[in-house]
Structure 1
Amino acid sequence: MDIAVIGNKEFVIGFQLAGVRKTYSAETPDKLTETITRVLNDPEVGILVLQSADLEQIPRRLQVVIENSVKPTIVTIGGQEAGLSLRERIKRSVGVDLWK
């Protein structure tokens, strides 16, 4: 399983330096929506990392898909935690609470 990162250039560059290969720069809401949709349909992606602020720029319908996604697991970084916590997403993805 791969990790994918979508966001502006400044956001994805750190992940590129850390060795994440699937990074996508999306500067406009339309490009962001298109890229997220494409990555959600990629069977090789297990974790998708997004900026919390970017969730406000995409259509509500796609926000609901992201909030309910089990595979890939969506992790938002920065600002206020959007949707479920990382713990809750891992629990849904794996099927057990790893913190217990």
Structure 2
Amino acid sequence: MEIAVIGNSEFILGFRLAGVQKTYAAETDERLIDYINRVLGDKEVGILVLEGKNMERIPQRLRTTLENSVKPTVITIGGGEGGLSMRERIKRSVGVDLWK
């Protein structure tokens, strides 16, 4: 399983330095949507990391798809909540609430 990161060039820089291979600089809404669809179709990606503020830039239908996605599991970082909490995502992926 691989990790994919989509965001602006500053956001993905740290992930590149950490060795993440699949990083996509999406400066426009069109690029953002294109990269998200590309990653959703990539069977090797297990985790998709998005910049939190980007969730508001994508259409509602795609946002719903991301919020309900188990593989890849979508994690938003920074810029507010951006969808489900980490606890809810882990619960959805694993099937149990690990905090109980």
Matches within 5 A, 1:1-100: 1-100=1-100
Q: How far apart in 2 are the matches of 1:78 and 1:35?
A: 19
Match of 2:43, SS state, is coil
Q: How far apart in 2 are the matches of 1:11 and 1:43?
A: 24
Match of 2:84, SS state, is coil
Structure 2: state its 5+ residue gaps.
Answer: none
Cα distance per residue 1:45-88 (max 9 Å; x no partner): 11100011111111111111111111111100112112211111
Letter in 2 for 1:34: D
Over the aligned positions, Cα root-mean-square deviation in angstroms equals 1.0
Give how far 1:98 is off. 2.4
Q: How far apart in 1 are the matches of 2:89 and 2:8?
A: 24
Letter in 2 for 1:8: N
Match of 1:30, SS state, is helix
Q: How far apart in 2 are the matches of 1:59 and 1:88?
A: 22
Q: How many residues align?
A: 100
Percent of paired sites with the same residue: 68
Match of 2:64, SS state, is helix
Give how far 1:3 is off. 0.7
Q: How far apart in 2 are the matches of 1:40 and 1:82?
A: 18
* Runs of 4+ deviating beyond 6 Å: none
When the two structures are superposed, what TM-score results if normalisation uses the length of structure 1? 0.94
